[in-house]
Amino acid sequence: MRFFRTSAAVLLLAAGALVAGDAKSCLDLSGRIDNDISSPSGVRVTIYGRNRCSEDVDGNEVRFKVMAVGMGGSVIATQNGRFGGTVASHGQVETKVFVSCDPERVRSIRVEAR
């Protein structure tokens, strides 16, 4: 009987982990250049994350890479970042990162989960 209870507990814990998914797969990431500030040494980018899972996500576990894209689609600079705090179920979070580069060469930005 003890074996049965232990096995059932292990199965329930494993099933819970499969349903929850990981933080990276729960957040949809997007970003835009923040034109409220200008600097000759780079661009400030606002990164948005939307939690599409039915559980809270630890924002510290969600790491991302911001890429400044120049002419022809070439990446001219990158910056890594992460969100802080908890992202509520179906909630949103945002943060700002600074990408050091020549701002005159930046045509767009891309954000990827890491």
- Please write the tens of the pLDDT for every residue from 58-67: 999 999 999 9
| Domain 22-113: top CATH class | mainly beta
Which structure tokens are listed for 27? 């957040």
pLDDT value of residue 80 = 97
CA distance 109 to 28: 15
The predicted-structure confidence for 1-44, as pLDDT tens digits, reads as follows: 555 455 544 444 444 443 445 777 899 999 999 999 999 999 99
pLDDT value of residue 1 = 53
The confidence band for 93, taking pLDDT boundaries of 50, 70 and 90, is very high
CA distance 77 to 96: 16
pLDDT value of residue 24 = 77
